[in-house]
Amino acid sequence: MLGLMAMFLQAAPGSADPPPLATGHTAPCPPDADGDIVVCGRQGRDEAYRLRPLPERYVEDQRLRLKLPGDATVSPHADQGRLGDLQAKVTLKIPF
């Protein structure tokens, strides 16, 4: 087992070319003319087409909320209990 692990840890002889990137390109980041270190990254092929979550200002609150007189609200909801069962709850909010 140890011999097998040592075989995998050995560096393979070969050229010093960088490994191919996930997009299939073999060229690294373009070098800087002054010799400075350049750090760059590329997104995966499908990453540009992935849908992102909406910002919070566009997300609607899907909970049922009933308005009561005096700016109070009542909203029913279900939460998971200690034993995994659902518990029906009602939240009453009264501003003061």
Domain count, the chain: 1
Residue 26 lies in a domain: no
Residue 22 lies in a domain: no
How far is residue 11 from each of residues 20, 21, 96, measured CA to CA in Å?
Answer: 17, 19, 70
Q: Strands of the chain (E only): list them.
A: 66-68, 72-80, 86-93
Residue 74 lies in a domain: yes
pLDDT bin (cut points 50, 70, 90) of residue 2 is low
Query: CA-to-CA distance for 1 and 79, rounded, in angstroms?
Result: 50
**pTM beyond 0.85:** no
Give pLDDT tens digits for 16-66.
455 554 555 445 677 777 878 777 777 777 777 888 887 888 777 777 889
Residue 21 lies in a domain: no
Domain enclosing residue 81, as ranges: 47-93
